[in-house]
Amino acid sequence: MERWGGKIAVVTGASAGIGLAIAKSLVGEGMIVVGLARRKAKMESEMKALKEKGTFHAFECDVSKQDDVIKAFDWIKKNLGMVNVLVNNAGVTAFGKIIDSDKETWEKLFGLNVMGLLYCSQQAVKMLKESGEEGHLININSVVGHKVLNNPGIYLNVYSATKYAVTSITETLEMELIGTKIRTTSISPGYVHTDIIKAAINSPSIEEEISKMIGLEAEDIANSTVYVLGTPLRVQVTELTIKALGSRG
């Protein structure tokens, strides 16, 4: 990780959970980290007491809105420099059956999980091609982006569909970026104990089913992100799947 010291990393959804854990880890590795999230005050509060080698900047941004993303990357370029690492972590889930759902739910999930990832990736790649420096795009995916959850007690609406899209987008970007110094990686965790799950639970039966699952911690995904970044430039880690020991997914 030494070569990333002093380099700029953007982490989306950095106000809580996996994104916050990744931001803390990268600051600890000496990087200049910019957190993008709607809750700027929460990011600042969470990172305030952190005394590490790197630095952290909070920028209020709804990544599902392209104008917000463009504004954020313009600010980074003007005030900090060129982005080297992008961690697309921002995401949302929803429980329930597709047939019982509505347009607003579908648009919310695809808007953040897919379009937000595309907006940020496009801006980061533009910067990296301009600078010609080494870069890395890391997309926080999910095991359900490779196989739909088979649990009669839990229905994930179109969440799996959005994560299947992340799998495809990551592979497509890898092909498009051949010949550059930009790597792409999809990190697919199993169940992780985070607020995103708690916020989406909408019935006691789902809460009961979730409580039975063996899960990972956000720090486990942060450690995996550091591992992927630390591999030599000649190494392309295309997919990293992480499950809790003893879990089925």
Active site residues: 159
- CA nearest 206: which of 216, 214, 195, 198? 198
Q: Rounded to the nearest 5°, which phi and psi values hold at 97?
A: -80, 145
* Residue whose tokens read 């979730």: 210
DSSP 95-133: -B-GGG--HHHHHHHHIIIIIHHHHHHHHHHHHHHHH--
| Helix 66-79 and helix 116-131, axial crossing angle in degrees, nearest 10 | 30
CA 53 to chain centre: 23
Residue 35 three-state SS: strand
Taking the alpha carbons at both ends of the chain, their separation in whole angstroms is 30
Three-state SS at 183 = strand
In the 8-state DSSP scheme, what is residue 134?
A: -
| Of residues 58, 59, 168, 73, the one with CA closest to residue 121 | 73
DSSP states along 184-197 = EEEEEES-B--HHH
128 touches 83 (CB < 8 A) = yes
